[in-house]
Structure 1
C-alpha cells in the first residue's frame, strides 16, 4: 500500500501500545469519541482489538503514527469483517483513510470476507462519506449509531488491477 503522506505501514503488536497511545494523542477528543466512544483508548480495548483483528499503524513522513486501521471477523456472521479506521486530525482529507480501507478490504477478502462492517455514530460524516465513495452501502440504525455494510465485490475493492 502506497500513499505519499505515509512512510510505512506497520503491523501492530501488543508491544506497540506506546505507539498507539502516541497516535491517539495526535487525535482530537471529538475524533476519539466518534471512533471509540471515549477520549482515551484503554489498554484492555487494545488487547481485545489485537486478539480479534489484523491491524496496522500508518507512519507519516516524520515516522510518527498518523493512522490506525484494523479488520477482522468480530461478528458471528461468516464473511463479514469489522472495519476500524482512525486518521489523526491533521492528516485527514488527504486520501489516507481511503487508501487504508482499500488495504484492509483486500486483506479481509483474502481471508474470506465478502462484506466490511463499520459500526459508527450516525453523526460521523467523514466515515460515512468515505464508505459511500467506495461503493454501495447498507445502513442499519442502532439508536445513535449505524452499522454500515460495504459489499466488497460490488464495490470493486477486491478486483484492483496489479
Structure 2
C-alpha cells in the first residue's frame, strides 16, 4: 500500500461507524497526512473483496523502540465483522513480522473491544497490561517462526 491508495482507505472508513473508528484510531476522521505518517513507520496493506471494494486495513511495524517488537493495527469494515477477515489479516501480519525478525506482536486497544481481544488470543500466547480503559496485548510469535526443517535450500551450482 502507498499514499496513492488514500481513496481506498477513505472508502473503508466510510464503511466504519464513528464508534469503531474512534476505538481503532482514537478519532473519527483521518486525513491523507495520517496515512503518510503511518506508511513511513509501518507496512500496510488493504484487503479487497471480489469487486475491489476495501474490506480491511492492516498495518504492522515498530512503534516502541523495543527490538523484535512490532505493533498491529487493524480495521475491518463494520458490515464484514465476524467473518474471519480480521483474523486472517492479523495472522498474515504475524507471519510477516516473524519473518522480519520480530518475536512479539503488540496491539493497544480499548478494554471494551472484546472482538479484538479475542482475535489476539487466537494468534498465540498473550500477556495483557491494563492502562485505565486501554489494554496493551503482547502476542508471542513463536508459532509463526519458519520451521528450519522445511526451509528450502538452494542446490549448489
| Pairwise same-fold verdict (TM > 0.5) | yes
1:49-92 CA-to-partner distances (Å, cap 9, x unmatched) read 10000000000122101100010112100000010011101111
* Greater C-alpha radius of gyration: 2
Q: Structure 1 86/22 Cα, relative in aligned 2: closer, same or farther at 3 Å?
A: same
The answer to whether 1:26 aligns with 2:7 is: no
Contact 1:80 1:113 in 2 (8 A): yes
State the Cα deviation string for residues 7-36 of structure 1 (Å, max 9, x = none): xxxxx1011111111110011111111100
Q: Is the 8 A contact 2:3 2:32 kept in 1?
A: no
Which residue is equivalent to 1:157? 144
Q: Please state how far the C-alpha of 1:159 moved relative to its aligned partner.
A: 4.9
Task: Specify which of 6, 16, 34 is matched with residue 5 of structure 2.
Answer: 16
Could you tell me which runs of 5 or more consecutive residues in structure 1 were left unpaired when the two chains were aligned: 1-11
Contact preservation (8 Å) 2:71, 2:106: yes
Query: Would you say how many aligned residue pairs link Structure 1 and Structure 2?
Result: 149
- Structure 2: stretches of 5+ with no match in the other structure: 152-157
Over 2 Å off, 4+ runs:
157-162
1:37 match: 26
**1:105–1:158 contact (8 Å) kept in structure 2:** no
Q: Does 1:127 align with 2:111?
A: no
TM-score w.r.t. structure 1 length?
A: 0.87
Which structure's relative contact order is higher, taking Cα pairs within 8 Å and 6+ residues apart?
Answer: 1
TM-score (norm 2): 0.89
Q: Contact (CA 8 Å) 2:98, 2:144: kept in 1 or not?
A: no
Q: Secondary structure at the match of 1:61?
A: coil
SS at match of 2:129: strand
